[in-house]
Structures are given as C-alpha cells and as structure tokens.
Amino acid sequence: MADLSELILATISRANYAPLKPKALARKIGLTSPRYAEFRKALRKLANEGRIEYGKNHTVRPVGPHGTVTGTYRRTGTGVGFVRPHPIDGKVGVEIRIAEDDSSDAATGDIVLVKVTRKPNRPDLLPLGQIVRVLERSTRQFVGTYFERDGKGMVRVDGTVFSHSIEVGDPGAKNARPGDKVVFEMVRFPSPEDRGEGVLTEVLGPHGQPGVDTLSIIRAYGLPEEFPPDALEEARLAVEAFREEDLEGRVDFTQDLVITIDPADARDFDDAVGVQRDPKTGHWELAVHIADVSHFAPPGSALDREARQRATSVYLPQRVLPMFPELISNHLASLQPGKVRYVKSAILSFTPDGKRTGVRFANGAIRSRQRFSYEQVLALLEQGNVGDKAVAPEIYELLLRMRELAMILRQRRRERGSLELHMPEAELEYDADGRVIGGHFRAHDISHQIIEEFMLAANEAVAEHLDELDVPFLRRVHPDPDPFRLAAFADFARSLGYKMPTDFDRFALQQVLEQSATRPEVYAVHYALLRSLKQAVYSPNDEGHYALASTHYCHFTSPIRRYPDLTIHRQLGQWLKSKKAGASYPELVGLGEHCSKMERRAEAAERELIRLKLLTYLSERIGEEMEVIITGVADYGFFGQAEKLPVEGLVHISTLSDDYYYYEEATHSLIGSRTKRTYQLGDRVAVEVVRVDLQRRQLDFRVSRPSKTKTQGFGRGR
C-alpha cells in the first residue's frame, strides 16, 4: 500500500499531469484490473489524509495551495527541523528550515505540508517554513526507558526525537518496572504547547539484558522480523521443486572455473566470478554470475510481495533480517560451493588495457569451485600459494588474473574521474559469549577492490544494455552536486592546505581525496565532500552517477538483498526470452522512492545499533584513555574519532580548563588566548572517556594530555 500511495503521488505531482478520473489514472500508472481495488483503497486513504482532492468530474488532483511544499521532516537535537521536499518530475527542491515553534506536532520521518514563510536572500541560506499539518506519520511506535514520577508512568524516548519524556499512563502498566526498555504507541504527539501522551504496548526487558538493545532498535525502526506463512510456504515449495539436473533454458556454466569471495561471516553468496585471458591477443573475458532469485519469486507471488515491502535486507550486529526467507537467501539462491545454482550471467569482454568491447547475457547455471573470505584472498595474494593454506594451482592462477584485470579496470575508472571516498565502516569484536569487547574499521584492501571493480563493471554493462533498449528501468542515480556546496568544500580544502584551483573540476576533487587518504584528517576531508554531494537514490530518471563518473549505472549484483536488483533481473529475463523489456515509468518512480527510503532506514538502524553497543562497552570504561584524531571543530568544542575503536565523541570547550579558547573558522582550530595552544582538524590528541549517555547515544571525552603549543595559524606545512 505504501509504495502504491507513493506511486499515485509521484504521478499526479508531475508538471505535465492533467487531472484524470480514477480508472484513467490507474491505466496511466500501469495497474492491472486485479489491483484496482487496492488502488481505490489507496486513493481513499490519501484523500482522508488530505494529500489528494477530487476536482471537477471526480478527477484526482494533488493538494497544495500556493506557497506550500510536501516533504519529509527531520528534527535535530537542538529542536530545529528540516523538510526535504518530495521529488517532482524526479527533481528534489531545496531543504526548508523549520524553527521549533513552527514544527506543530511533527516528528522525524513524518510527511508534512509546509508553508514557505521566507525565501532566502543569499544562495547559502535555506528558506524558512511553517508546518501546516502532518500528512502521514512515519511511525506511532517508539522505544525508550520506563520510569515513574508523581504517580505516573513515563518513558524517556531513545535518541533525540523528542525533548521531553512521554506520559504512558498508570504505573506498572504491562508489568513494566523502572529501567525496563519498553515500546509504546503515541496517542497524542508532543508539540511546543503539549508534552504528548502514549500507551505501553510491549516490555522488551531490563536495560542491559542480552538482546534487548537489538530488539529496541528493531522496534524503534519498525523493521520486519517474521515472514508471513504464505511466503514461507512458497519458499518450501521452491526447495522441494528444485532439481540440480534441470537446466532447461539455461546455459550450462557448471564446468567453468568460478569462485565466490565474501566476508568471513557472510551467510548468503549472491555473486560468483571467473576470469580468462587469451594468451595470444591478451584480451580478457570476465564472467559475473549473479544468483537468479527472480526464478523463485515471480511478480505478484507472496515472496515477491514481502520482498518488495522490505526492499532490502538489514544487517545488524550478530543478526540479519533478510529480504527473502532463509530457505531462499541462505540456501536455494545462495551460490554455495559444489552445488548447482541458477544465475543471471553477464560475460564481459575487454581489450588488454581494460576497454570493454562486448557483453552477452544469459540465464545460466554454475557450480562454484570454492568459497573464499576476503582475508584468505589477501593472504594468498600477499604471501603466495604456499603452506597449509595453499589452493589448487588453477585457482591460484585465477586469483592472479582477477587481481590484474581488476587493477586495470580500477585505473581506467580513476582516469575518467571516479571519486574514491574513504568512509570508515565499523565492525564489532565479541567474546565467546557474544559480548562486545571492542571494534575496528573494516579493511578495504585489494581483495575487496577486486570484487568491487567486477561488480561495478557488470552493473554498468547491464545499465548500458537497458539504455540501448530505450526502456525505463530502476537506475542507481547520484545527481550532480550543487555548485555552491562544492565551492564551500573547495574553501574547506584550501583552509587545510590543499591546492584547489578557482575553476576546479572532479579531477581536482579526486586529487584532494587521494592526497588526504594517508593523512590524519582523511575522514574529516572525505566526510566533508560526502556532505557536499547529493544522496544516491533509486530512480528511473537518467541523471548518471556523479561519484562513479558513470553515465549508465544500476544495481544488478545483489538481488538476494536489494529489491531494485531484482527488478533489473526481471527486465533482463524478459529481454532474454522475447527481446523486449518493458516497464511502467510512473510505477518505477514510486518504487524507487520506496526502496530508497527502506535503504536509508536499514543503514540508520545498523549505524545506531553499532554505536549503542560500542557506547555500552565504553560505559563500563569511564576514565579509559585513548588516542583520537580531531574530525570536526566548532565554537563549542571538537569531535574526536578514536584511532583503534570505531567511535566518535565530543570534547566540550568547557572542559579545556587550562586556558580560554576561541574558535578560528579559517583554520578549523580552537586556540588558547594565553598559551596559543591549538586543537586543529586532523590533530592527534590523548583523551579519556568521561561520560556515556546511552539514552541520547552521546559520548563525551576530556583531554588527558594537552596538545603541543603551536604558533597561531601555523598549520601543518603542506
């Protein structure tokens, strides 16, 4: 229902939309008769929410008086909010700033109608707005810690969604005890004039009890857990019907040498690769085989319905919430070694220097020869095929070919201006009982780069093929950045000593990224550029992929865990069968919005749970000292990223008691008035843990050993 509503709104919001009656609108969207009842139900819901209206002759029209915008609201910890306008004709407008007193009772994630109250007089400022009404709640379910006060049950909501605790009724409801993590339904949302009211629906357990933190995040983000019975039954029937010897209509690749390379703890394997090279001409052939999930989940099936709703698998620490039941994701569609598995195959041909000369596609079947972890591949490439970890000679030779071709492709990508952003990915470390005992940043070495290059090459080849067919498809779009934001990044880079010409281009950006990659301020620089770029989304609009410098790009290589990839597999399957591959553009617009939203939800849930687990670990280590790199400086203090632990904390300026410090924006420094001691972006500083606020997910450091005194404005001699 949700994506159907988004599809309707996307269609009627287009500039060239002429108001249509419901049946004509359903035909325009491309809905078949069996879904018309669902369509009318979605229309009624949108009308009741005030998001559509009926005009003359019962035609459907968008709601929105002059000067109003519909978008998604997010609230910051300070109370100030922002509304990201919904796309119109695939274009997203500028964010609108909402003062706390103008936010009504909106909560983060809600879809709201905003009246623009003041337009900016400078390009670096945002327009101001006032929320007229909330059109759709992101959720009414929230998670927090239960306590009692003045004879009332109260909940401190996790995070910074609300400024105040919420009253949830009589003490002891649902047998809740002070300190329990609980789930409650919001009955009346808080506003500047009202603290709000809720009702308890579930007690998750005492704070700190194993598993309660994970369950809290699952409930807070509304993540789906159990699969419905009909989807599980379809998965069982698919397993029972599968026969390895049944290869009708498929190209038999089972004798080809292919392998999988995945994380050591991976449970599903959706891509296998093989590389050959002609010894006479030096030409390359890359085979990328992707699990053919579309064979087991046809459109309209229970498996498809559930996968579409989930849109993505969610990878939480020590727990996966898969897009497909495990009978499919971890068994039937998992490219396990030694087993015949159905695949969609892309066979790419390259010249000796990596220029693609051709591609062919097939419904295929493979038998993976061996499963590797990234660590195993790295060891073989660095240490050679020796010792007790040695592999068959032909497999070792395959790995060497893979490395050579991948580095050729990587160099070509660099030469066209692809941007290589180094953003840290946290990985937790556990003891035998599953308790967090630390963490580290995931490696991104040559073993990862090999698979990355091959997947990128396959994604581009499929997208280019669908482009040549002139059919709409769900692209992975990364629009060109706003020039003003890029100019602000260039000023930031110059302030750190990097050379940026006035008339800079993507190659100048690339050079800054490469130069900073081995310097202490690497994450600050790369994150600053990331913030200046637009967000990558799924959309049928042909806007290219800015970061990859790619004209044609889509996601094809992970249909087990991403629904957009599954849509590409289906279109490729249509073409292989009939040389035609159609799709409804308006439906893809709505589906792209839904998949992008679900992807952001999954990523946010994973980040928050990792941070919560690390903060819980540090809450038992108050006073522990560590080295941090300064990743951000402001007038209220600086942020430090721990070098050996993937966590960031704040050193508040009030704790710098040895001097009076002032903020110098030009050098991104805090400078002592008397001592001239500085804390500058990229500096390494010794700190100690002084406070952990699990409720608000905040970590506070204090400097344990002051930085060395510098001459004001000295910098780092670049």
pLDDT digits (tens, 9 = 90+) for 685-700: 999 999 999 988 999 9
Please, which pLDDT band fits residue 483 given cuts at 50, 70 and 90?
confident
Residue whose entry in the numeric block shows the structure tokens 């919560």: 612
Helix pair angle (22-29, 2-12), 10° resolution: 100
Answer yes or no: is pLDDT of 121 > 60.
yes
Asked whether residue 611 is assigned to any structural domain, the reply reads: no
Please, which pLDDT band fits residue 10 given cuts at 50, 70 and 90?
confident
At which of 84, 102, 136 does a domain end?
Answer: 136
Are the CB atoms for 439 and 646 separated by under 8 Å? yes
Rounded to a whole number, what is the distance in angstroms from the first to the last CA of the chain? 56
Do 673 and 550 fall within a single domain?
A: no
At which of 100, 116, 136 does a domain end?
Answer: 136
Please, which pLDDT band fits residue 383 given cuts at 50, 70 and 90?
very high
Residues 6+ apart with CB under 8 A from 254: 340, 365, 366, 367
Do 280 and 404 fall within a single domain?
A: yes
Asked whether residue 589 is assigned to any structural domain, the reply reads: no
Answer yes or no: is pLDDT of 171 > 90.
no
pLDDT of res. 46: 81
Rounded Cα distance between 681 and 704, Å, is 18
Q: What is the mean pLDDT of the chain?
A: 90
Do 451 and 569 fall within a single domain?
A: yes
pLDDT in tens, 416-466: 999 998 887 888 999 888 889 989 888 889 999 999 999 999 999 999 999
Rounded Cα distance between 110 and 102, Å, is 15
pLDDT in tens, 209-231: 889 999 999 999 999 999 999 99
Using a pLDDT cut of 90, give the percent of the chain over it. Answer: 64
Q: Kindly report the backbone phi and psi dihedral angles of residue 270, in degrees, each rounded to the nearest multiple of 5, phi listed first.
A: -105, 0
pLDDT in tens, 176-192: 999 999 999 999 999 88
In the chain, the number of structural domains is 5
Do 487 and 380 fall within a single domain?
A: no
Answer yes or no: is pLDDT of 379 > 80.
yes
Do 405 and 334 fall within a single domain?
A: yes
| CATH value at residue 147 | 2.40.50
Domain that holds residue 78: 68-136
At which of 492, 509, 533 does a domain end?
Answer: 533
Please, which pLDDT band fits residue 56 given cuts at 50, 70 and 90?
low
What's the rounded mean pLDDT across residues 290-307?
Answer: 96
pLDDT of res. 50: 66
pLDDT in tens, 66-113: 567 888 898 887 789 999 887 665 566 788 999 999 999 999 888 888
Do 255 and 368 fall within a single domain?
A: yes
pLDDT in tens, 506-536: 999 999 999 998 888 888 899 889 988 988 9
What's the rounded mean pLDDT across residues 474-485?
Answer: 91
Do 361 and 498 fall within a single domain?
A: no
What's the rounded mean pLDDT across residues 349-368?
Answer: 97
The 8-class DSSP code of residue 194 comes to: B
Which of 619, 628, 635 lies closest to 670 in space, CA to CA? 635
Answer yes or no: is pLDDT of 289 > 60.
yes
DSSP per residue over 347-406, as a string? EEEE-TTS-EEEEEEEEEEEE--EEEEHHHHHHHHHH-S-GGG---HHHHHHHHHHHHHH
Rounded Cα distance between 122 and 12, Å, is 32
Residues 6+ apart with CB under 8 A from 72: 83, 84, 86, 109, 110, 111, 112, 138
pLDDT in tens, 339-357: 999 999 999 999 999 999 9
SS3 content of the chain, % helix, strand, coil (to 5): 35, 30, 40
Q: How far is CA 274 from the centre of its chain?
A: 29
pLDDT of res. 89: 53
What's the rounded mean pLDDT across residues 137-143?
Answer: 92
Asked whether residue 638 is assigned to any structural domain, the reply reads: yes
Please, which pLDDT band fits residue 482 given cuts at 50, 70 and 90?
confident
Rounded Cα distance between 241 and 300, Å, is 19
Using a pLDDT cut of 70, give the percent of the chain over it. Answer: 96
Do 318 and 380 fall within a single domain?
A: yes
Please, which pLDDT band fits residue 11 given cuts at 50, 70 and 90?
confident
Do 251 and 201 fall within a single domain?
A: no
Do 307 and 162 fall within a single domain?
A: no
Do 436 and 450 fall within a single domain?
A: yes
Are the CB atoms for 272 and 279 separated by under 8 Å? no
| CATH value at residue 699 | 2.40.50.140
Asked whether residue 415 is assigned to any structural domain, the reply reads: yes
Do 147 and 104 fall within a single domain?
A: no
Asked whether residue 239 is assigned to any structural domain, the reply reads: yes
Rounded Cα distance between 459 and 145, Å, is 45
